[in-house]
Structure 1
Amino acid sequence: MLTKKGKYGLKALVHLARLPVGQLAFVGDIATGNNIPKKFLDAILGELRNAGFVQSRKGKEGGYRLARPADEIKVGHVVRVLDGPLAPIPCASRTRYQRCEDCNEATCQVRHLMLEVRQAIAEVLDQRSLAEMRDIVSGDDFSVALKIQA
């Protein structure tokens, strides 16, 4: 499940992706424009800066901007940085695997299904960039944005 931290982080990055290349945005403007608590956003942007997704500049002319082009930032990478593994249960995680104490993993139907769920989530998020998120339009273009194939 995507946490509020992950959701707010993605919203902030999409906000920055909508700006002209190199333009800075104030934290307060990002927070207000996306209905995100400013104090929480400060912490999230700090994590995103440490992970190399955004750059910051202090002072009167300061703010945040993307550290690299939006089409080079994959949504799956952002979600993993902010929320951790994509797997719904620890025994299905590739990055933070933890063995279940109460089942045989080789025959556990729950684990096998959750491995499929994790793979499906990863396939979508790892193929999508911030630029694609930025360009998603609601309404009639929804199926196009999701790349639904006939």
Structure 2
Amino acid sequence: MQLTRHTDYGMRILIFLALLPKGERANIDMLSKAYDISRNNINKIVHQLGQAKIIETKRGKGGGFYLAKEARDINVGEMVTMMENSLEIIDCEKQKCVILPACRLKQAFNLATTAFLDTLKQFTLADLLEDKQNALLHFLKLDE
């Protein structure tokens, strides 16, 4: 299974926000520069995360965005599920498969997807930062 760039970028944005010092806010330009992601992509992701109440967004002077929850309260598996349009590995109905009535491949893939998500649900955003916070700050140039 390969996740979309949307989800990948969304998780990167959450990591960036979790690394910000308390009270600081990020903006589109900061994230675009840090990750070399287009402003348009960041806008879409920030909007989705704001709608889901994962981040708070403020417009205007002194605006920006920040985590609305503690990093330990943001579950990685739940974020992936929210950000992906579909987690279905194959679609046996779109192009009708002739062996569908006897095939168990879709069932096997569904079990694998469930195991994948169950594993991700064991992690929080805080777990992704554990023991690596200083290195992440350095690579994102947030330690300057």
TM-score (norm 1): 0.76
Point out where structure 1 has 5 or more consecutive residues left out of the alignment.
Answer: 92-97, 138-150
Instruction: Pick 1 or 2: higher relative contact order, CA cutoff 8 A, min separation 6.
Output: 2
Match for residue 112 of structure 1? Answer: 107
- CA–CA separation in structure 1 for the residues paired with 2:38 and 2:131: 24
- CA–CA separation in structure 1 for the residues paired with 2:54 and 2:6: 15
Percent sequence identity over aligned pairs? 27
Give the superposed CA RMSD.
2.1
Asked if residue 132 in structure 1 is aligned to residue 127 in structure 2, the reply is: yes
Query: Which structure 1 residue ranges, 4+ long, deviate > 4 Å from structure 2?
Result: 98-101
- CA–CA separation in structure 2 for the residues paired with 1:116 and 1:69: 31
Task: Give the alignment of 1:1-150 within 5 angstroms.
Answer: 1-90=2-91, 101-102=96-97, 103-104=100-101, 107-135=102-130, 137=132
Residue type of the alignment partner of 1:20: P
Shift of 1:41: 0.4
Give the aligned length.
129
Residue type of the alignment partner of 1:83: E
Residue type of the alignment partner of 1:36: I
Point out where structure 2 has 5 or more consecutive residues left out of the alignment.
Answer: 133-144
- CA–CA separation in structure 2 for the residues paired with 1:22 and 1:120: 37
